[in-house]
């Protein structure tokens, strides 16, 4: 069974339509990225998937007992407040020291436990947020533009970390991003939204689709090729989904 599935999901705010007829499912082990212009309904879809926004029609089904780990865009930390990474990860609930060290290691920052939150670089900060999301042993990680403010190499490194986490823990990853170049390459599947699913499939299929090009231009392919080249066969994925039905329409 899928971790989360929607059928003909239609969303809106007091009669203003936002998304119509979205049928989507995400399985364990998959990395799926949602792209789309501003206002295309990406965050609304995430909100509906986690149950924070009720459908106008259609349905959202979550696997029983599904644990969701959420990585926000950013989080404001009061610069005057002394707060170590270790203490931050103990909020709001006290955690075992081993568990904290474990998620920091998993997030690629094992050395940061004693560091002050306010001293972290953007990339380190996002990894600490990733570590926090991992504390609940999630089945699915949901990231809402988690690399905003990072430069392109920083964002690419963060997504490689996400891929490592996915491979190690076999969880699903669903992310919204504007970093089209790097994020598309790090995804198994891309969903392009514009009031509805205008296009979906592997990054290559979506980047080639006229609907996607009409929205985002044609600059993505070269970067995808470069990323693939650098990244080729660096690791093995344990999942094996059949996406032969992928299409753009
Ligand atoms: N709480 C709300 N009340 C009313 N309208 C809303 C609300 N939240 C979002 N909207 C509207 O719904 C539409 C989709 O917004 P949403 O935030 O889902 O898009 P998005 O693709 O995530 O955009 P962005 O890339 O700018 O973050 C927009 O027109 C927005 O103004």
Percent of the chain as helix, strand, coil, to the nearest 5? 35, 25, 40
Task: Give residue-wise pLDDT tens across range 156-169.
Answer: 899 999 999 999 99
CA atoms within 13 A on the CB side of 200: 18
Which residue's alpha carbon is nearest to atom 1 within ligand 1? 13
Task: Give residue-wise pLDDT tens across range 2-28.
Answer: 999 999 999 999 889 999 999 999 999
- Total length of the chain: 249
pLDDT, average across residues 207-211 = 82
Task: Give residue-wise pLDDT tens across range 102-141.
Answer: 999 999 999 999 999 999 999 999 999 999 999 999 999 9
Of 153, 137, 1, 132, nearest to 74 by C-alpha is 132
Listed range (50-54, 107-111, 143-147, 176-180) with the worst mean pLDDT: 176-180
Which ligand 1 atom minimizes the distance to the CA of 44?
Answer: 18
Res 219: pLDDT: 57
On the question of a cis peptide bond just before residue 55, with omega within 30 degrees of 0, the verdict is no
Task: Give residue-wise pLDDT tens across range 180-208.
Answer: 777 777 899 999 999 999 889 888 888 78
Res 214: pLDDT: 80
From ligand 1's centre to the CA of 43, what distance in Å?
A: 7
Which residue's alpha carbon is nearest to atom 28 within ligand 1? 39
- pLDDT averaged over every residue in the chain: 85
From ligand 1's centre to the CA of 174, what distance in Å?
A: 18
ipTM of the shown complex: 0.97
């Amino acid at each position: 069974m899928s971790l989360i599935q929607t059928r003909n999901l239609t969303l809106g705010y007091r009669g203003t339509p936002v998304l119509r007829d979205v049928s989507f499912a995400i399985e364990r082990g998959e990395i799926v990225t949602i792209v789309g212009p501003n206002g295309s309904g990406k965050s609304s879809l995430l909100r509906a998937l986690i149950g924070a926004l009720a459908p106008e029609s259609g349905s959202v089904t979550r696997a029983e007992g599904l644990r969701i780990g959420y990585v926000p865009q950013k989080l404001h930390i009061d610069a005057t407040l002394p707060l170590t990474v270790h203490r931050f990860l103990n909020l709001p609930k006290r955690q075992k020291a081993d568990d904290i060290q474990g998620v920091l290691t998993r997030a690629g920052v094992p050395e940061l436990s004693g560091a002050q939150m306010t001293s972290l670089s953007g990339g380190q900060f996002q990894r600490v947020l990733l570590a926090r999301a991992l504390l609940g042993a999630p089945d699915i990680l949901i990231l809402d533009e988690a690399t905003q403010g990072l430069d392109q190499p920083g964002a690419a490194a963060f997504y490689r970390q996400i891929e490592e986490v996915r491979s190690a823990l076999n969880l699903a990853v669903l992310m919204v991003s504007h970093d089209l170049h790097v994020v598309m390459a790090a995804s198994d599947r891309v969903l392009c939204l514009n009031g509805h699913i205008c296009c979906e499939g592997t990054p290559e299929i979506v980047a080639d689709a006229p609907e996607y090009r009409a929205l985002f231009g044609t600059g993505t392919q070269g970067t995808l090729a470069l990323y693939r080249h650098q990244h080729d066969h660096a690791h093995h994925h344990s999942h094996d989904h059949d996406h032969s039905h992928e299409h753009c329409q």
